[in-house]
Structure 1
């Protein structure tokens, strides 16, 4: 009992160990074998060097060239210039608004061109194949701009069990991650106690624990037993956060990040289950037909990849 109480008092334990590799040295085959397929987080350097955004996307650039761009963050409307001013002045005690999950497709075409082509370390990405994207895009490239002290609002894994690729352009972020086997300690929304809460059932990838640093030790006592990783992401680096890995982040210095979701052989099974259960819920197409189609697509793309 005393050990359990000590765990609650001390909170989760974190390792700072995460592999880092230069993209030109690790290569695609080893990357897929050692990290993608076993669902192991890794940081890749050098994969963004071809992007114009690497040199161009500064805070001054956004303010001067796109200062009039209209944004909305948590219900507040402001211009890009106003956001940049607040981001630069942000402090942990008074953090600036955090622009997050902002679709790149909503940005001017010139900005979209600055992050093309997509980094090779985000592929293979089966969501980009016409068998998945013919009717509507399934990949979401998103922009994040925030200042010192801002935090992502939830501990989560990416919806539909997609992989997350987080590409750092400016600034430094601290990430916290928990492997899927730590789920019993993370108080997932949509558990048995919430079976009558429809919204909770639709968000099984979100933890009830909002503040990792100041959590309710009475309500979330098991969280003290969790074991995770804690590390920083720097400009020019790409973080591969695998399917099902819980994660959140806080900003250490004014930051610009781009992310994209992905699916391949490593997470196709879990993606297919979530896609049928959540994405297709309430639609006219029979679930059995969706499952059959996804089974066909998975086998076909796996076969093509092996050729």
Structure 2
């Protein structure tokens, strides 16, 4: 028995009217397979091309190590020249990833290779971000700090996506005062005996190939795993629902600064406490709902 995941529909093309009616308004994900074939990026963008035009750029790298108390918010774990990083991606599996790499700031000429599509939403023109990963690398299950509507365009190789709406947060072992769930959960192959609440979470999954774009509704949790080396670009539009917009403002001006302050004051004890609370709160949610799912003995913790 695995996660309760519905396959995300794949459409060849999608009109603005149909997107707004069938996916944006009901906040459902969708993959469009042939939406960007007229972009220069569709035929030009590859790992080799990125090495050619950005090889001398130093890039921030992240892996799947657990969050540590002495690391700042989104602080990179290593840095490397883009040329060396692409060579690494093409030579062997690696956990190192690039995320939130600003195209406009780093390689302005890439702007000529894509446009801002008219999905009926106002896209933020200053925030096109690139994401790179090696075979087997993955992100923790997380949602974005601004709870934006995301259009995620994939280039080269294949990538697995697992999504959950915010309504399923109560089953995901969310870490308090953060944007992630327990980092020791492998969402590609979860141990449902150890993490029984995941059996109740209803989500979505799909695989992306070169040229595909996935719409990730506002605030959706997402886990990305690179089946082969590749990269993607995200364009975003601000959250429209008042509750999500309010949560985004809170995250940006209060939550992340509070969490960094507590790391400095309490150190690793703060991280450990948050990990414990994720289990306690999730188990409590199951109890409130009268769930008959047995909670694993190893998840009993003292506060």
CA 1:183–1:281 in structure 2 vs 1: closer, same or farther (change >3 Å)? closer
Which residue of structure 2 lines up, in the alignment, with residue 230 of structure 1? 205
Give the distance between the partners of 1:278 and 1:72, measured in 2 at CA: 23
Report deviation, 1:29. 0.9
Partner of residue 18, structure 1: 8
Q: 1:70 aligns with which of 55, 58, 63?
A: 58
Rounded to whole Å, the distance in 2 between the matches of 1:38 and 1:86 is 41
Give 2:161's match in structure 1, choosing from 175, 178, 181.
Answer: 175
In the alignment, the residues of structure 1 paired with residue 199 and residue 244 of structure 2 have an alpha-carbon distance, to the nearest angstrom, of 29
- Retained in 2: the 8 A contact 1:46–1:236? yes
- Residue deviations 1:203-250, cap 9 Å, x none? 2x3212442245565763312332322210111111001113211110
Asked whether the 8 Å contact 2:116–2:123 carries over to 1, the reply is: no
Q: Distance in 1 between matches of 2:131 and 2:92?
A: 15
Hey, what's the Cα distance between the residues in 2 that align with 1:111 and 1:82? 20
1:253 CA drift (Å): 1.6
Give the match's secondary structure for 2:28. Answer: coil
TM-score normalised according to structure 1 size: 0.71
Match of 1:273 among 225, 230, 246: 246
Would you say 1:118 and 2:106 are equivalent positions? no
- Scaled by the length of structure 2, what TM-score is found? 0.71
Structure 1 residues 238 and 219: alpha-carbon distance in aligned structure 2, compared to 1, 3 A threshold: same
* Change over 3 Å in CA distance of 1:75–1:157 after alignment to 2: closer
Distance (whole Å) between structure 2 residues aligned to residue 41 and residue 52 of structure 1:
26
- Residues 109 and 244 of structure 1: is their aligned pair in 2 closer, same or farther, counting only changes over 3 Å? closer
Which residue in 2 is equivalent to 1:84? 86
- Counterparts of 1:271 and 1:229 in 2: how far apart (Å)? 20
Task: Give the corresponding residue for 2:279.
Answer: none
Listed as ranges, the gaps of 5+ residues in structure 2 are 62-75, 256-303
How far 1:280 moved relative to its partner? Answer: 3.8
Question: Is contact 2:146-2:249 (8 Å) kept?
Answer: no
SS at match of 1:144: strand
Counterpart in 1 of 2:136? 149
Partner Cα separation in structure 2 for residue 126 and residue 84 of structure 1 = 29
Q: Which runs of 4+ in 1 moved over 6 A?
A: none
- Stretches of structure 1 that go unaligned for 5 or more consecutive residues are 1-9, 129-136, 191-200, 283-307
RMSD: 2.3
Whole-Å separation in 2 of the counterparts to 1:226 and 1:274: 22
**Structure 1 residue aligned with 2:33:** 45
Mapped contact 2:124–2:235 kept (Cα < 8 A):
no
Q: Distance in 1 between matches of 2:211 and 2:45?
A: 12
Cα distance in 2 for partners of 1:89, 1:214 equals: 25
Q: Select 1:28's aligned residue among 16, 21, 31.
A: 16
Q: Secondary structure at the match of 1:159?
A: coil
Contact 1:187 1:209 in 2 (8 A): no
SS at match of 2:15: helix
